[in-house]
Structure 1
Amino acid sequence: MEPKAYSYIRFSSPEQEKGDSLRRQIQLSEEYCKQHGLILDDTLKLTDRGLSAFKGIHRTKGALGEFLRLVEEGKIPPGSVLLVENLDRLSREQILDALNQFTSIIKAGIKIVTLQDGMEYDQESINQNWAQLIISITYMARAHDESETKSKRISAVWENKRSKAGNGGEKLTAKAPAWLKLSQDRTKFILIPEAAKAIELIFRKKLAGKGAERIARELNEDPNIWEPPRTGPKKTGGWRGSYINKILRSRAVIGEFQPHKLVDGKRQPIGDPIPDYFPPVIDKELFYQVQAQLQANAEKKGNAGGRTGKVSNLFTHVIKCGLCGYPMHFINKGKPPKGGKYLVCDASRRLKTCTAKPIRYEEFEQLFFDNFEELDISQLIPG
């Protein structure tokens, strides 16, 4: 049986994907396999888009991490070939971390091929020519040094931008709350009038005692009310209770901006909030009245902590509507016979764009376990 080759492709920025990086790396892999009689595996999608190798995010969260796990479990057989454009695609971490990853792949019987220079690394080649290992270490050290220098330079630029952002200087990025847009000279944000009206209405409704889900429903039912653009996590469109809650707690509505930066792949606040960074969309008195109401609700008995007790819905974030593909939400309408627990299509409930009928939760749960008794849940939800 001919050995399989696996092509690992990585680029750290969206700009590289728009350019020639993806096509070039795919073409190099295909040409190498043709020349060496290898079968290029097309079952594993070993592509990490927008993941940096400097902090090892691609190894812990990306496609490379999945490949390394399969190697460790013996599901990638010895004799297989891992194709990469350069060693810096595999890692830009500190030299010992990069070297440990490199040697662990080779010791598992996997050959590493760098397509740009045609170098082939495996146990036999390194044992016969140890200088090859020295060359690889040099490449890894250089890749880390380049990334570290770039990281320091970018950090200094952003630190300078943050220091000027609160003094009327150029805004940090064009990214802003949905009710704002950036001016052409990038010095100020401009309120979108219809969006600003919707935000103020949300706060007025909340102050009147309405819950987030009810507010979302009322906004969705009014065709004259502005709704969030269908981008990012809100591609389904319309208002959601979760987004309403986020807005109600956001200090951006009174003009504040909290800078963040990535630390080990996670966004963390940095420095103090910047006042008057955004134009306020509501007055502070209304904002703080709502905050006091939210705090009072949170302190009510039985409403101050997180979820406890048994889980109501076993299929949270898993089940979707078979007609439109929107998520199915768990709705508890109280005790039977008038009430009951249901799974309801989100598009049908919020947007009225789907004709799917509610499904009784207990019936679906029973049907699921009757027909999927051999399913290993741990494969779907690790840990």
Structure 2
Amino acid sequence: MTATTAPRPARRLPRKPAQATPATVARQPRLFTYARISSKKQETGTGIARQDAYAEKWAAENGFVLDRELRLEDLGLSGYHGDHVRRGALGRFLDAFDAGDVLPGEGLALESLDRLSRQEPVFAREHFDRLVRGGIRIITTSDGKEFSLAAYREDKTRSLWAELVFMRANEESETKSRGARSALKTHCENWQKGARGFLVGSPRMFSEAKGRITRGTDPWWTLYDPATNSIRLVDQGAAAVRRLVALYMQGNGALVIARRMKEEGFEIGDGTGKHWNTFQVQRTLESRALIGEKVFEIEGQEYALEGYYPPILKPDEWDALRLFWKNREVPRANADVPPILTANGVAFCGSCGHPLIASNQYKSRAKSGRVFIRRLRCGHSIKKDGACRCEVDSVLAAPIERAVLTFCGEQSNLDRLFRSDASANPAAEKLEAKRTEAVSLQAKIARYEERLEDEDDPLTKTERKVLRDTETALERVTAEVQELEREARVGTHQKVSTAKEWSALQKRVLDLDPDARMKARKLLADTFERIDLYMHPDPKADKSAPVHVRLRSTQGAMIGLAVDRRTGDIVGELSKVPSPEKLTEAKHTSRAPRKR
């Protein structure tokens, strides 16, 4: 891979408070030392000690003072990819120079110019020339050369020498990188062909010499065992991952998961003492190492090594996790009282089809004290100059929640929702439609391919473009079919909820127990594809009339309920339920919003 990292733009940092004499007053110039070590083997060498000794000698001979407080070291950062500039000590030195904390006339000592950069010469020279033009004297301790404006005036070939060093350094790194990529690619191809018994990449293992775990490229819940030449799961790490996945599948967000993992005593087993954070949670959930795969991307091609790690999740569990990740439409629960209806992207205003939102408030009551109240509103009605055709601003969320929980607490109602009716299953209908589209595209491509070999009736330029576009469309539709088939497998293995589960949660949910509400929210997402709320279904009726709730299950069954807006009692079932097609055609009204 050629290092084509763009030059780092100069950033202006706030100046540090002046602790010495102003820059305009003459002072003894400082000499800074910079060392970059890109591999662990270089840490045991004597290069840094030699560099410090030479820098101290050079500073004394040239009237400089060696700055021992600011030691610039980049350990394990690549000069070939520019990591030392983007997030290392050299980048901070450049920032300090731009901010005026490093003054013209001061020096920077390093072992060789290739320590400054191994990027392509055009990018390496950008940082080098920036320092030299700014008056910084760069000293290479390996050969005693100085690179500065004064040195350029004495020796015109000094700039050419720097260019040659940068070219040689980049070529060496490119050759090493090319060889490493080739070896890694060979290992990956051999693994995919069935070869085993070797490692691909650096393993995560315990180093007796260092007395700690070296991280390598393996996930933190694994460990390499040299005695058996195999990778095993760390018991505590595997338990932590399983708990993390369980919390996520309950609907918790990364912030809540990180807090809960810390509270429950689970640790990140990477040997660095890091605490749980949202990035670590998301990175773990995205890792295909959960199903035992190690993934590399080499020269734009992905290599998935199946069975490289012991799996934590089964294939159907992984599919369910990815489907849950894909379908999340709103932030996960980070509130003290997790919402149920509005948190899964299934609740909509029946009048206009816009998603429902929740508004929370606390009110003081003489008898019960401070009371939490949540109301459901049409999301369109709160927009500026927006208005929903419904004449009612909002309804209390608790009565609607009580009605849904009560309805699902009877097994006969759940049986009606999950009746076996493939023709009413929207997921099955979508899958069949995509399969039909794929067959149609394949037939179209076949017709064009027949004419590719026909000299009497060759394809025109336009038809060749249509063929390429059709092949691209087929690839897209094929991927969609595979995804829908994966979702169908998840639905097949998914356990249907029971009335007993709903009834056991009802009281705790209405008492605002967070864990119970998270479980109920998961049940609701697994049971219903859509819930439409008609807050004022009959304009001629009183505004205290029952709320109409239309339930559409994941199997396509639809049931309408009339719910008392104050108590949550189900006062009846609706004989006529608006069709999804009619709801889809509904438009927002253009009338002016009500005056509040």
User: Same fold by TM-score, threshold 0.5 exceeded?
Assistant: yes
Instruction: Give per-residue Cα distances to partners, 1:165-221, cap 9 Å, x unaligned.
Output: 343241213133333322326753223455445544554565566776776677666
Q: Tell me the equivalent position of 1:282.
A: 313
2:318 is matched by which residue type in structure 1?
F
Residue aligning to 2:429: none
Write the deviation string for residues 280-310 of structure 1: whole angstroms up to 9, x where unpaired.
Answer: 2232233333444444443696778xxxxxx
Answering whether residue 123 of structure 2 is matched by residue 97 of structure 1, we say yes
In the alignment, residue 138 of structure 2 is paired with which amino acid? Answer: I
C-alpha distance in 2 between matches for 1:39 and 1:117: 21
Amino acid at match of 1:115: T
Counterpart mapping for 1:88-237 below 5 A:
88-166=114-192, 167=194, 168-172=196-200, 173-175=202-204, 176-184=218-226, 188-193=230-235, 195-200=237-242, 202-203=244-245, 227-229=267-269, 231-232=271-272, 234-236=273-275
2:44 is aligned with 1:7: no
**Higher mean C-alpha displacement, 182-191 vs 22-31:** 182-191
Distance 1:106 1:241, change over 3 A: closer
For the residues of structure 2 that align with 1:134 and 1:221, how far apart are their CA atoms? Answer: 60
- The residue type paired with residue 256 of structure 1 is E
1:57–1:248: structure 2 CA closer, same or farther, 3 Å change rule?
closer
Point out the more displaced range, 188-197 or 13-22.
Answer: 188-197
Unaligned runs of 5+ in 2: 1-26, 205-217, 332-341, 346-359, 365-369, 373-596
Alpha-carbon offset, residue 39 of structure 1: 0.7
2-structure distance, mates of 1:55, 1:123: 28
Change in Cα spacing, 1:45 to 1:256, as seen in structure 2 (3 Å) is same
Shift of 1:251: 2.9
User: TM-score when scaled to structure 2?
Assistant: 0.44
- Return closer, same or farther for 1:115/1:271 CA change in 2, 3 Å cut-off: same
Q: 1:186 to 1:23 in 2, by over 3 A?
A: farther
1:13-32 → structure 2 map (5 Å cutoff): 13-32=39-58
Per the alignment, do residues 29 and 288 of structure 1 end up closer, same or farther by CA in structure 2, a change over 3 Å counting? same
Alignment counterpart, residue 67 of structure 2, candidates 41, 46, 50: 41
Question: What are the Cα deviations for residues 312-351 of structure 1, in whole angstroms up to 9, with x where unaligned?
Answer: xxxxxxxxxxxxxxxxxxxxx98598699xxxxxxxxxxx
- What SS does structure 1 have at the residue aligned with 2:295? coil
**TM-score, normalised by the number of residues in structure 1:** 0.65
Q: Distance in 2 between matches of 1:102 and 1:13?
A: 23
- Give 2:452's aligned residue: none
Worse overlay, 287-296 or 128-137? 287-296
CA distance in 2, matches of 1:98, 1:211: 43
Pairwise CA distance, 1:136: 2.8
Equivalents in 2 of 1:38, 1:275: separation in Å? 59
Counterpart AA for 2:295? Q
Query: Is contact 1:9-1:22 (8 Å) kept?
Result: yes
Report the residue type matching 1:231 in the other structure.
G
Q: Between the two proteins, what is the percent identity of the paired residues?
A: 28
List per-residue Cα deviations over 1:13-50 (Å, max 9, x = no partner): 23322432333322222222123331112454422222
Residues 255, 279 of structure 1: 8 Å contact kept:
yes
Change (3 A) 1:334 1:179: farther
SS of the residue corresponding to residue 258 of structure 1 reads strand
CA offset at residue 254 of structure 1?
1.8
Equivalent-residue separation in structure 1 for 2:228 and 2:50 (angstroms): 35
Contact map agreement 1:164 1:170 (CA 8 A) in 2: no
Structure with higher Rg: it is 2
Alpha-carbon distance in structure 2 between the residues aligned to 1:66 and 1:241: 27
8 Å contact from structure 1 (residues 4, 40) kept in 2: yes
Distance 2:82 2:248 in 1: 44
CA-CA distance at 1:130 after TM superposition:
1.0
C-alpha distance in 1 between matches for 2:95 and 2:82: 15
Structure 1 residues 217, 93: CA separation in 2 closer, same or farther (over 3 Å shift)?
closer
Query: What whole-Å deviation, never above 9, does each CA across 1:146-178 have from its counterpart, x for those lacking one?
Result: 222222222222222222334324121313333
Report the CA distance shift for 1:240/1:335 in structure 2 as closer, same or farther (over 3 A).
farther
Q: Which amino acid aligns with 1:84?
A: L
Aligned match of 2:511: none
> 1:64 is matched with which residue?
90
Aligned to 1:50: 76
**Structure possessing the higher relative contact order (Cα contacts under 8 Å, 6 or more residues apart):** 2
Matches within 5 A, 1:322-361: none
SS in 2 for 1:8: strand
Distance 1:284 1:339, change over 3 A: farther
For 2:287, the equivalent position in structure 1 comes to: 250
* Equivalent residue, structure 2, for 1:346: none
Query: Which string of whole-angstrom CA distances, capped at 9 and with x for unpartnered residues, describes residues 219-276 of structure 1?
Result: 66667xx7443623x534xx66765555444332222222246x9xxxxx85142222
Aligned length: 301
**Root-mean-square deviation over aligned CA pairs:** 3.7
- The structure in which a higher percent of residues are strand is 2
1:362 is matched with which residue?
none
For the structure 1 residues 163 and 209, does the alpha-carbon distance in structure 2 shift closer, same or farther, using more than 3 Å as the test? Answer: same
Distance of 1:244 and 1:259 partners within structure 2: 21
Counterpart Cα distance in 2 of 1:52 and 1:147: 10
Separation in structure 1 between the aligned mates of residue 296 and residue 229 of structure 2, nearest angstrom: 17
Please say if residues 8 and 83 of structure 1, whose CA atoms lie closer than 8 Å, have aligned partners that are also in contact. Answer: yes
- Return closer, same or farther for 1:278/1:108 CA change in 2, 3 Å cut-off: same
Residues 203, 286 of structure 1: 8 Å contact kept? no
Q: 1:248 to 1:23 in 2, by over 3 A?
A: same
SS where residue 46 of structure 1 aligns?
strand
Structure 1 residues 270 and 18: CA distance shift in structure 2, 3 A: farther
Q: For residues 272 and 128 of structure 1, what CA distance do their matches in structure 2 show?
A: 54
For residue 89 of structure 1, report the CA deviation from its aligned partner. 1.4
